[in-house]
Amino acid sequence: MAIQLGDIAPDFTADTTEGTVDFYDWLGDGWGVLFSHPADFTPVCTTELGMVAKLKDEFAKRNAKVIAVSVDPLESHQAWIGDINDTQHTNVNFPLIADPDRKVADLYGMIHPNASDTTTVRSVFLIGPDKKVKLMITYPAATGRNFNEILRVLDSLQLTANYSVATPVNWNQGDDVIIVPAVSDEAAKAKFPKGWKAERPYLRVTPQPNL
Ligand code: BEZ
């Protein structure tokens, strides 16, 4: 059955460009970003993996590790990394899973036969410290992802996991947030000492509580 939000992320062992990875051990107690790309030596994927390398510190600040996967073999990944580094002016600093037998791709439902029988789509899974799937997004092969959006979602997930808030449209770190409807006005007085503006009884806007 397809993975859904809140499911436990499947564990696996795989060969990667940084050695054998036991996924759960590799994740440790932090957050994980597992993302697939269609194929090595393709232009959009080259730009995506270069950008992820450049953003590694931003993921680390959020206690998140990134790992890529495609159905290409290890030797192909290793050769392609040289091109990514040269053309994107970076150093790939995270593991690429070699998945020629599609073990990981099938576990995570990354091959969508009506898009391609043979390659993974552009999937992203954000996995929490509890090993549960917190976000899934899927892009087609011809559309590169915006990894700043993945960082933005990580910020939202980490904030909303710790406070009784939700983040509104186009929210970014530092913007006002919304008090979740399950919190009564009475309870909100204690939880949100900075106060809030009620546009409607269900739409209460408050400054980000952890700043
Ligand atoms: C790319 O990464 O550029 C790409 C891969 C598969 C199909 C189309 C584009």
Ligand 1 center–CA 133 separation, angstroms: 26
Residue 1's pLDDT band, with cuts at 50, 70 and 90, is: confident
Amino acid at 76: S
pLDDT single digits (tens) 5-30: 999 999 999 999 999 999 999 999 99
Quote the tokens at residue 86: 């040269």
When pLDDT is averaged across residues 139-147 and rounded to a whole number, the result is: 98
Q: Whole-angstrom Cα distance, residue 211 to residue 205? A: 15
pLDDT single digits (tens) 45-60: 999 999 999 999 999 9
Q: Whole-angstrom Cα distance, residue 126 to residue 132? A: 9
**Cβ of 44 less than 6 Å from ligand 1:** yes
Ligand 1 center–CA 15 separation, angstroms: 23
**Cβ of 142 less than 6 Å from ligand 1:** yes
With 0-12 CB in 10 A as exposed, 13-18 as middle and 19+ as buried, what is 3?
Answer: middle
Per-residue HEC secondary structure of 49-96 comes to HHHHHHCHHHHHHCCEEEEEEECCCHHHHHHHHHHHHHHHCCCCCCCE
pLDDT single digits (tens) 95-120: 999 999 999 999 999 999 999 999 99
User: Of the residues 33, 45, 66, 68, which is catalytic?
Assistant: 45
Q: Whole-angstrom Cα distance, residue 1 to residue 56? A: 32
Ligand 1 center–CA 84 separation, angstroms: 14
**Cβ of 205 less than 6 Å from ligand 1:** no
Nearest CA to ligand 1 atom 7: 141
pLDDT single digits (tens) 39-92: 999 999 999 999 999 999 999 999 999 999 999 999 999 999 999 999 999 999
pLDDT value at position 169?
98
When pLDDT is averaged across residues 189-203 and rounded to a whole number, the result is: 97
Q: In terms of Cα–Cα distance, which of 119, 177, 124 is closest to 148?
A: 124
Quote the tokens at residue 64: 């998140």
Q: In terms of Cα–Cα distance, which of 21, 62, 22, 68 is closest to 42?
A: 68
* Mean pLDDT of all residues belonging to the chain: 98
Hey, is 104 helix, strand or coil?
helix
CA 127 to mean position of chain CA atoms = 7
45 is catalytic: yes
Q: Whole-angstrom Cα distance, residue 72 to residue 66? A: 18
